[in-house]
Amino acid sequence: MPHRVRALVASLVTSLLSIAAAAYAQAPQSTTPPAAPRSPKSVLGATPSPQRVPAPGAATDQPYMPQAILAGGIVVPIYPPGSPMLKAERIKEAEVYNMAGGVPGRIASIVNIHNPSIELHRVPGGMNTGAAVIVVAGGGHRTLNVGSEGSDFVPFFYNYGINTIILRNRLRNDGYVAETDAVNDMLQAIKVVRAYAEDWGIDPKKIGALGFSAGAELTAPAAIKYVEFDKTHDVTGNPLAKISSRPDFVGLVYPGPTPFRGGAEVAIPGDAPPSFITGPGVGDAGHAIWADEYFSAFLKARIPNLEMHIYGAGAHPGQPLPDGSNMTAGLADRSGMPFGTWQLRFIDWFRDLGFMQKPGVETRAARDAAARLANPPRPPGQRGRGGLPR
The partner residues of 310 in beta bridges, in order of sequence, read 279
CA–CA dist 191, 241 (Å, integer): 9
Report the candidate in 105, 227, 90 with the shortest Cα–Cα distance to residue 170: 90
Element (DSSP H or E) covering residue 225? helix 216-232
- DSSP-based three-state secondary structure for 175: coil
Look at residue 51 in the predicted model and tell me its pLDDT. 80
Query: What tens-digit pLDDT sequence spans the chain (390 residues)?
Result: 454 544 443 444 344 334 333 333 343 444 445 555 667 888 888 888 888 888 999 999 999 999 999 999 999 999 998 999 999 999 999 999 999 998 989 999 999 999 999 999 999 989 999 999 999 999 999 999 999 999 999 999 999 999 999 999 999 999 999 999 999 999 999 999 999 999 999 999 999 999 999 999 999 999 999 999 999 999 999 999 999 999 999 999 999 999 999 999 999 999 999 999 999 999 999 999 999 999 999 999 999 999 999 999 999 999 888 888 888 999 988 888 899 999 999 999 999 999 999 999 999 999 999 999 999 998 766 655 544 445
- Architecture of 74-374 per CATH? 3-Layer(aba) Sandwich (3.40)
Question: Where in the chain are the domains?
Answer: 74-374
- DSSP-based three-state secondary structure for 47: coil
Look up the pTM and report it: 0.87
CA–CA dist 89, 35 (Å, integer): 41
CA–CA dist 249, 260 (Å, integer): 18
Look at residue 9 in the predicted model and tell me its pLDDT. 39
Amino acid (one-letter) located at 29: Q
